Chain A
Amino acid sequence: MTEALVSTRTLSKAIGSKSILRDITVDVSPGSVVGIIGKNGAGKTTLMDILLGFSPATAGTAQLFGHDSFTLPAAIKDRIGFVPQRDELVNNLTGRQHLALTAALQKRWNHALIERLQAAWEVPLDRVVFKLSGGERQKLSILLALGHEPALLLLDEPVASLDPISRREFLREMIAIAGDQSRTVLFSTHIISDLERVADVIWILRNGTIVWAGPLDTLKENVVRLSIHSRQPLPRILPLPTALTQQVTAERASAVVTQWNEPEAQRLRLELNADIEVEPLSLEDIFVEFHS
Chain B
Amino acid sequence: MGTAPGIRLFTLQPSSGVPIYLQLIQQVRRMVASGQLAAGAELPSVREVASEYTVNPTTISKAYSLLENEGLLQRNRGKPMTIAASRRTSGSLPQRLKQVEAQVDALVLAARQLQLTAPELCQFIDRKMGEDS
- Indicate which residue in B21, B47, B56, B102 contacts A197 across the interface (CB closer than 8 Å): B56
CA distance A263 to B104 in the complex (A): 10
Known: A175-B56, A178-B56. A280 touches B105 (CB 8 A): no
CA distance A154 to B54 in the complex (A): 20
- Indicate which residue in B15, B57, B106 contacts A265 across the interface (CB closer than 8 Å): B106
CA distance A225 to B92 in the complex (A): 37
- Is A72 interfacial (CB-CB < 8 Å)? no
Return A52 CB to nearest CB of chain B, in Å. Answer: 24
CA distance A101 to B109 in the complex (A): 66
Known: A196-B14, A200-B58. A179 touches B110 (CB 8 A): no
Q: What band does the interface of chain B fall in when counting residues whose beta carbon is under 8 Å from A?
A: 20 to 34
- Is B5 interfacial (CB-CB < 8 Å)? no
- Is B65 interfacial (CB-CB < 8 Å)? no
B106 and A263 within 8 A (CB): yes
Q: What band does the interface of chain A fall in when counting residues whose beta carbon is under 8 Å from B?
A: 20 to 34
CA distance A159 to B113 in the complex (A): 53
Known: A263-B105, A266-B109. A220 touches B19 (CB 8 A): yes
CA distance A216 to B58 in the complex (A): 11
- Is A240 interfacial (CB-CB < 8 Å)? no
Interfacial residues of chain A within 114-173, with CB under 8 A of chain B in the complex: 168, 171-172
- Is A99 interfacial (CB-CB < 8 Å)? no
- Is B16 interfacial (CB-CB < 8 Å)? yes
B21 and A281 within 8 A (CB): no
Closest chain B residue, CB of each to CB of A278: B17
Chain A 50-62, CB-CB to B under 8 Å as 1, else 0, gives 0000000000000
Number of A-B contacts (CB under 8 A): 78
B62 and A217 within 8 A (CB): yes
Known: A33-B56, A197-B54, A197-B55. A282 touches B16 (CB 8 A): yes
Closest chain B residue, CB of each to CB of A179: B57
Chain A 215-235, CB-CB to B under 8 Å as 1, else 0, gives 011001100100000000000
- Is A249 interfacial (CB-CB < 8 Å)? no
B58 and A168 within 8 A (CB): no
A175 and B55 within 8 A (CB): yes
**Which residues of chain A come closer than 8 Å to B18, judged between CB atoms?**
220, 280
CA distance A176 to B14 in the complex (A): 17
B54 and A171 within 8 A (CB): yes
- Is A248 interfacial (CB-CB < 8 Å)? no
Known: A168-B54, A179-B57, A262-B106. A193 touches B14 (CB 8 A): yes
Closest chain A residue, CB of each to CB of B50: A175
Known: A175-B56, A270-B113. A280 touches B16 (CB 8 A): yes
- Is A255 interfacial (CB-CB < 8 Å)? no
- Is B59 interfacial (CB-CB < 8 Å)? yes
Which positions in A face B, CB cutoff 8 Å? 32-33, 168, 171-172, 175-176, 178-179, 193, 196-200, 216-217, 220-221, 224, 262-263, 265-267, 269-270, 279-285
What are the 4 tightest A-B residue pairs by CB atom distance, in nearest-first order? A280-B17, A217-B19, A196-B14, A281-B17
**6 pairs from A and B in contact (CB 8 Å cutoff):** A175-B55, A179-B47, A197-B14, A224-B17, A262-B102, A270-B114
